[in-house]
Copies of this chain bind each other. A is one copy, B any other.
């Protein structure tokens, strides 16, 4: 029976990964780690023997104990302070809770000589500002991180490579693009839009406050993302980096128009300087050719279906 250790267990992505395992795996065992207790019922699965430990990944001793007793076959490292905006507000906290937690984890795997595969989740933010003539982004391009969050992700990737080559750990890396879907926290752009628009439907307000909505992002549904994570854990190549993206770019404005269309709303957009970041990438669109060729993954859920599911999720809350 395969054993999965999932960090960042109480978050948005983890729940979708568990749903994927429940539907597609035979019996397996999962141990979830998080500093926060999960808000979902971990006994609801029939194919997964699921347990949880409340733990701060900065505490090496506790990480060591958990690894020693659970002995995972796979580690899905989802724990992250993944908001770019937050990383500008609190760069030290953001950096420590991205980079140092990862380093602590892989170093304990090294010290314990555990035989397990680790998925190191990175970000499209690592690429930085690339001239639009060079798009879509491919894994062999030079990275140029433009936020404290992006620097932490680049360091995580560089350390992953070094742990593979220097210490022979089995790590596969991703550069995951903006994922969206039901359950994502409202501090991220799209759920915040949906929540504001649903409020407007009730209150009848005539405008919505937004940041820079001309930026282009490559959105991929979280349910497609977790399938990629599973396939990479099984069939990805050690030491390799894989983009996880749709290959299509939309401005945030286009997303807002799609949401308003689905909600049958027509309102004005008002820029709030508080929501604009010190610096940002204009356009992020990735190529998913490498992962397609390597493990046959490609996205299956359209942007319109994702947005519809997100609206339904927030409407039901």
Contact = CB atoms under 8 A, between A and B. Distances in A.
A151 B145 contact: no
Interface in A141-166: 142, 145-148, 151-152, 154-155, 158-159, 162, 165-166
Chain A contact patch, size range: 20 to 34
Interface stretch (A99-107, A228-236, A253-261, A290-298): A99-107
Max chain B C-beta neighbours (<10 A), residue from A152, A158, A165: A158
A160 B101 CA distance: 21
| Interface of A (DSSP majority class) | helix
Contacts of A159: 91, 95, 148, 151
Contacts of A148: 159, 162, 166
Contact of A100 (B100, B158, B279): B100
A192 interface: no
Interface in A266-282: 278-279
A166 B100 contact: no
A207 interface: no
Contacts of A60: 92
Number of copies: 2
A162 B142 contact: no
A45 interface: no
A154 B154 CA distance: 10
Contacts of A146: 162, 165
A88 interface: yes
B103 A92 contact: yes
Nearest to A149: B162
A70 interface: no
Interface in A89-117: 91-92, 95-96, 99-100, 103-104, 107, 110
A131 to B, nearest CB: 16
Contacts of A100: 95-96, 100
A68 to B, nearest CB: 17
Interface of A: 60, 88, 91-92, 95-96, 99-100, 103-104, 107, 110, 142, 145-148, 151-152, 154-155, 158-159, 162, 165-167, 278-279
Given A92-B107, A95-B159, 14 more contacts: A60-B92, A88-B166, A91-B162, A92-B103, A95-B103, A99-B99, A100-B100, A145-B158, A146-B162, A146-B165, A152-B155, A154-B158, A155-B155, A165-B278
Q: Which 4 A-B pairs have the closest CB atoms?
A: A166-B278, A155-B155, A151-B158, A142-B142
